[in-house]
Each structure stands twice: as structure tokens, then as C-alpha cells.
Amino acid sequence: MNQAYRDRLELYSTELQQIWQTPAHSTILGLLGQWGQFHLMNLQNMPSDLPDFFNDPASKQNLALDFERFAAYGYHSWRIAEPLQLIGGLSFDQLRFPENFRAAPLSDDSKTVDRFRPRRV
């Protein structure tokens, strides 16, 4: 089986962030948005020396699959005493992406994953 595979990702991103700061406290809140498309081409055909009873091409796919990400985050730092500082935060991520865009046969199904987790600074 011969295979020709090509992919191209077109991605856009934007982020908004607000910082509040005092000598002892610092708070950061933010929003992140990313969106775009995977442009995929997959062609699988038989070598010319095989008999004609196989379907040729076995697979011919040309897909444009959406990608989306939304994130909201925040963290706070408190300078208790020099040099002691306490930092904590949380983030929420929602990601929608193509379920299978690397291995043939390609799929036009998408998968959505949500995560709420501690924020690392």
C-alpha cells in the first residue's frame, strides 16, 4: 500500500489578562482563546503490480477539521514576609480537537476535553 499524507494547521490565538498589584498582594486573571483548522489530505493506493480486484484508491480523504480551545485562569500571590511568598491558583481548560488526524483512515469526528486544575506559576 502506498500512502501520501499531508497536513497543515491554521491557528489563531488571543489572550486577555488583568493584573492587580499591591506591595504585599498580586492577583492575575486571564482568558485565552484559540481556534483554527487542520487541513488534511490522505491518499492510499495499491502498488501497480497487484491484481485489479482491490479497490483503488483504498482511501482518498480531503478534510478540514476544527480546533477550539478556551481557558480561564487566575492566581494570587501573597508576600507574607521577605523572602516568604505564598502562591496559588486555578485554571479551567476546554479543548475540542479532531479525534484522529494522524493515522489512516482519518476521522472527521471531534473530541472535547474539559479540565479544572491547580494553576502552576
* CA atoms of 32 and 73, how far apart (whole Å): 9
Hey, where are the domains in the chain?
2-118
The reported pLDDT for the residue numbered 108 is 84
Buried b vs exposed e over 81-120: b needs ≥16 C-beta within 10 Å? eeeeeeeebebeeeeeebeebeeeebeeeeeeeeeeeebe
Q: Give 8-65 pLDDT, tens digit per residue.
A: 999 999 999 999 999 999 999 999 999 999 898 888 887 766 666 666 677 788 889 9
| Amino acid residing at 103 | A
The reported pLDDT for the residue numbered 121 is 59
Q: Give 53-106 pLDDT, tens digit per residue.
A: 666 677 788 889 999 999 999 999 999 998 899 999 999 999 999 888 777 778
Name, in order, each residue with C-beta under 8 angstroms of 110's C-beta and a sequence gap of 6 or more. Answer: 65, 66, 96, 97, 98, 99
Number of Cβ within 10 Å of residue 40's Cβ equals 20
Please say whether the beta carbons of 91 and 46 come within 8 A: no
Q: What are phi and psi of 75, to 5 degrees?
A: -150, 160
The reported pLDDT for the residue numbered 14 is 98
Q: Give 105-120 pLDDT, tens digit per residue.
A: 788 889 999 999 997 6
The reported pLDDT for the residue numbered 45 is 81
